[in-house]
Amino acid sequence: MPEAAAFQGFSWNPITDLHELFAYPFMVNALAAGTIVAVMAGVTGWFMVLRRQTFAGHTLSVIAFPGAAAASLAGLPLAVGYFGFCGLGALALAGIAGTRRSLSAESAAIGSLQALALALGFLFVSLYHGVLNSLDSLLFGTFLGVTTDQVVVLLVVAIAAVGLVAIAARPLFFASVDADVAHAAGVPVRALGFGFLLVLGLAVAETSQITGALLVFALLVTPAATAHRLTARPVPGVILSVALALAVTWLGLALAFFSIYPVGFYVTSLSFGLYVLVRVGRGLRRRRQASARLALEAA
């Protein structure tokens, strides 16, 4: 049992601890998978927050749950379920967005889809007659038992997705901040919106495999939202988003290795803590600037 081997606590000697961390192949695979997922989530998450599509992203992550449950039920690899369902979910979301109804009608439709996805997930779990003991890890993630083959799949998908976002970076940025002007300038706004949802589906499917379906936000939204708070510049923003996702993933994996609590908890709490810290910090700074201005005007 790797958990038993892992649970030895800190030695408080960083070199021994790091050595310990890399001594187990499952841990090396987990770190590799976490790194790949964090880079991909950092990049796509930054655009998702920019496009205000976090609700769509959340729905895709909920769709990942019945995907994984259906794959378990059918005896297929979990990745098949994650990628298959998230891909279909992205198509459905693109269809909803494509009907160009009002924003409230769109979010209502997305919400309905989300509820259906959760219900399907529970159906598949109960069809499995309760012996699906990995329900926890489907919902909340696991870093144990990531195989080298899985790492390769994650890497290939991540390279494809990040590559697509990189090629489309400027038109996608343009379409996200100013769709009308971008359209008039010849940017294929609707095709980009559709393509981005598909890439987002891939990113969610990947992230789900580490953080679980319910905690995808920890890597996809929180680091990106923090980066948007910290800088309005696009290139440093994306880099910061990736760096924050990497930091919380590595720290979360290391903490989970040395303790009995699940990795999803650590990754989520770390990114949430960072986000709160940045918000409070920015708020304090703004207040200080405002009072300095007031003092200046009074003087």
Only one of the segments 35-43, 107-115, 197-205, 226-234 lies at the binding site for other proteins (rule: CB under 8 A); that segment is: 226-234
Total residues at interface with other proteins (CB under 8 A): 22
Of positions 12, 180, 296, 298, contacts other proteins by CB under 8 A:
180
Binding of residue 240 to other proteins (CB under 8 A): no
Q: Which is nearer to other proteins, 138 or 187 (CB)?
A: 187
Cα–Cα separations (whole angstroms), residue 165 to 46, 94, 210, 211, 238: 11, 17, 22, 22, 11
Reading phi first (left if > 0) and then psi (alpha if -120 to 50, else beta), residue 52 is in: left
Task: Look up tokens 């510049």; give the residue.
Answer: 233
Cα-Cα-Cα-Cα torsion 96, 99, 105, 107, nearest 10 degrees, comes to 30
Q: Is 171 in the site for other proteins (CB under 8 A)?
A: yes
Does 191 contact other proteins by CB under 8 A? no
Q: Which residues contact 277 (CB under 8 A, 6 or more apart)?
A: none
Token output for 239: 């880099």
Residue 173 CB, nearest distance to other proteins (Å)? 7
Residue 23: both structure tokens together: 């001594």
Check residue 285 for interaction with other proteins (CB under 8 A): no
Residue 47 contacts residue 165 (beta carbons within 8 Å):
yes
Question: Which lies closer to other proteins via its Cβ, residue 92 or residue 198?
Answer: 198
Question: Residue 167, interface with other proteins (CB under 8 A)?
Answer: yes
| 2 near other proteins, rule: CB under 8 A | no
Which candidate, 127, 91, 93, places its Cα nearest to that of 112?
Answer: 93
Cβ partners under 8 Å of residue 30, min gap 6: 143, 144, 146, 210, 253, 263
Q: How far is the CB of 286 from other proteins (least distance, A)?
A: 11
Smallest separation, CB 50 to other proteins (Å): 8
Q: Which of 155, 228, 251, 255 binds other proteins (CB under 8 A)?
A: 228
Q: Based on the shown chain and the rule CB under 8 A, indicate whether residue 77 belongs to the binding site for other proteins.
A: no
Tokens of 70: 């259906």
Instruction: Assess 170 for contact with other proteins (CB under 8 A).
Output: yes
Residue 169 in the binding site for other proteins (CB under 8 A): yes
Tell whether residue 182 is a contact of other proteins (CB under 8 A): yes
Q: Which residues bind other proteins (CB under 8 A)?
A: 166-171, 173-174, 177-178, 180-182, 184-187, 228-229, 232-234
